[in-house]
Amino acid sequence: MPLGEDGPSWKKRAQDIREIYEFRETLGTGAFSEVVLAEEKTSRKLVAIKCIAKKALEGKETSLENEIAVLHKIKHPNIVALDDIYESGGHLYLIMQLVSGGELFDRIVEKGFYTERDASQLIRQILDAVQYLHDMGIVHRDLKPENLLYYSPDLDSKIMISDFGLSKIEGSGSVMSTACGTPGYVAPEVLAQKPYSKAVDCWSIGVIAYILLCGYPPFYDENDAKLFEQILRAEYEFDSPYWDDISESAKDFIQHLMEKDPSQRFTCEQALQHPWIAGDTALDKNIHQSVSEQIKKNFAKSKWKQAFNATAVVRHMRKLQLGTSQEGPGQTTPTSPCDLLEAGASNGSDSGGCDRSLGPSSHRLPQD
């Protein structure tokens, strides 16, 4: 059914979204979308609104409807919720749950103490969420640290998978656009352009676990072709001295997830039963210094705009808590980002889903 006609019951009509929400600031931009921090005028609840220009979606309407219908059904404590969908003449607005605890790497670097057990607890939450998706027949396809945000600033905050499925909506599921976005997390079978399954997510979780324990990616080369070769052959090592203090159980866990053959790779269910997750083999030794040093060197903030700027949310929440917000109750963004989007969609600014902002700008060797 074409967008703009009477659609499914979960979609609401809105002539002007700003009659319902007060736009605060832009949190990020994608190929043909913009994420805006907004406040619902009646409840004063803060949300993240993903504005999608319809002009950029011509020919993709049916698949978009299907994707959003699936997203609307997803309810899991570790997955950012899609609360509402509004439609106007020129845009779709996805009203997303706002998470305010900041990015995974930032939190690790800020900590004074960080252990294998901390990493194990993070990975367990991710596995639980992805198993939920897999049980629903959904493959995420774009798991990476940049998509992992803390729910709140609390020290014991849960981790959340953010922007779930929206990458698929934006057409970045193809091999080409995945490769130009974040090649370091892509499973070998995806790069090989073979049919793939839920196992691709399990590979990505293995890569995330690897990084959480050493602070640098398992595959690194300035040359993309050589990087792809490493991934295709599943060539990675537990380099000394960075892995000297990491348990053999942790390494075994990673090897089962970063298994080249997807049929032999651990499923989420198997990974959740591994002793490093379900048992007590994750060590309590403080590895903060070495891991945080590597994160700072290998995952410096990209000069490109992040697809979702979690830091902007944290900054805004702190302003609210301090009572120093400069914005009055009736103020709105002078020019709506969504207005700019529509202009961009009509002048061909859609980059085809290839957004290099979605990951580290390069993959380097571990830094001394």
Distance CA 61, CA 237 (A): 44
151 burial level (CB within 10 Å; 0-12, 13-18, 19+): middle
Domain-located, residue 367? no
Domain boundary among 259, 278, 298: 298
Which pLDDT value is given to residue 304?
35
Domain-located, residue 5? no
Same domain (yes/no): 251, 129? yes
Same domain (yes/no): 247, 183? yes
Same domain (yes/no): 22, 138? no
Asked if 294 and 21 count as a contact pair (C-beta separation under 8 A), the reply is no
CATH code of residue 108: 1.10.510.10
Enumerate residues 6+ apart whose C-beta is below 8 A from 355.
Answer: 30, 31, 172, 181, 304, 307
Instruction: State which residues of the chain have pLDDT below 50.
Output: 1-6, 166-181, 302-305, 307, 323-337, 340-365, 368
Region of 288 please: left (phi>0), alpha (psi -120 to 50) or beta.
alpha
Asked if 243 and 251 count as a contact pair (C-beta separation under 8 A), the reply is yes
Which pLDDT value is given to residue 260?
96
Asked if 84 and 145 count as a contact pair (C-beta separation under 8 A), the reply is no
Tokens of residue 353, six digits:
């889903």
**Three-class SS string for 41-89?**
CCCCCEEEEEEEEHHHHCCCHHHHHHHHHHHHHCCCCCECCEEEEEECC
Domain-located, residue 337? yes
Tell me how long the chain is.
Answer: 368
HSE on the CB side for 355, CA within 13 Å? 25
CATH code of residue 21: 3.30.200.20
Region of 163 please: left (phi>0), alpha (psi -120 to 50) or beta.
left
Domain-located, residue 117? yes
Which pLDDT value is given to residue 206?
98
Same domain (yes/no): 78, 226? no
Domain boundary among 298, 317, 336: 298
Q: Give tens-digit pLDDT for 39-85.
A: 999 999 999 998 988 887 777 777 777 777 778 888 999 999 889 99
55 known member of a binding site: yes
Residue numbers annotated as active site: 142
Q: Give tens-digit pLDDT for 130-184.
A: 999 999 888 888 898 888 999 999 999 999 998 655 444 444 444 433 433 366 8
Same domain (yes/no): 239, 137? yes
pTM of structure: 0.77
The DSSP output letter for 286 is B
Same domain (yes/no): 187, 50? no
Domain-located, residue 4? no
Same domain (yes/no): 72, 112? no
Range of the domain at 132: 104-298
- Which single residue is written with the structure tokens 């700072």? 296
Domain-located, residue 51? yes
Same domain (yes/no): 204, 334? no
Domain-located, residue 330? yes
Which pLDDT value is given to residue 293?
95
Residue from 95, 94, 90, 93 nearest 4 by CA: 90
Region of 348 please: left (phi>0), alpha (psi -120 to 50) or beta.
left
Same domain (yes/no): 80, 115? no
For the chain, the domain total comes to: 2
